[in-house]
């Protein structure tokens, strides 16, 4: 069985300051992990993915995440927030099963203040 916990339901930062969105996972197998972003009334867009290669993963829009097996974490970071980063972010895990089934975290709403 697999699960994902996003530790903060809401995060508020000022524009130009760093962003940290926290994610912990559990999985019986070697997992693949993803971060998706969702703007209001839009579909989900893939930000980045970890699939057992480099543990530091760079994604779009300046985001990156580090896979830490010992801590079972996959936190999302960005050095400097932009107003357009305000959205809902989902951490997602799959154990690479045949059906590509994904398990979603509850989401973190990122607010960016001017």
Partner 1 sequence: SQTIHQWPATLVQPVGSPLSLECTVEGTSNPNLYWYRQAAGRGLQLLFYSVGIGQISSEVPQNLSASRPQDRQFILSSKKLLLSDSGFYLCAGTSGPYEQYFGPGTRLTVT
Residue 37's nearest CA partner among 24, 25, 50, 21 is: 21
Sites for partner 1 among residues 6-35 (CB under 8 A): 32, 34
Identity of the residue, 43 or 114, whose beta carbon is nearer to partner 1 in the bound complex: 43
- 44, 59, 66, 86: which one contacts partner 1 (CB under 8 A)? 44
Residue 58, interface with partner 1 (CB under 8 A)?
A: no
Q: What b/e sequence results for 47-82 when a residue is b if at least 16 CB atoms lie within 10 Å of its CB, and e otherwise?
A: bbbbeeeeeebebeeebbbebeeeeebbbbebeebe
- Which residues, numbered 83-102, are part of the site for partner 1 (CB under 8 A)? 90, 94, 96, 99-102
CA distance 32 to 22: 16
**Interface residues with partner 1 (CB under 8 A)?**
32, 34, 36, 41-46, 49, 51, 90, 94, 96, 99-102, 104-107
């Amino acid at each position: 069985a697999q699960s994902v916990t996003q530790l903060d339901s809401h995060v508020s930062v000022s524009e130009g300051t760093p962003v940290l969105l926290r994610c912990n996972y559990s999985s019986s197998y070697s997992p693949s992990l993803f971060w998706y972003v969702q703007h209001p009334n839009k579909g989900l867009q893939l930000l980045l993915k970890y699939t057992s290669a480099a543990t530091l993963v760079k994604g779009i829009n300046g985001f990156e995440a580090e896979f830490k097996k010992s801590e079972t974490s996959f936190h999302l970071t960005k050095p400097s927030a932009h107003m357009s980063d305000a959205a809902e972010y989902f951490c997602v895990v799959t154990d690479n099963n045949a059906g590509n089934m994904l398990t979603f975290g509850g989401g973190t709403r990122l607010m960016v203040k001017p």
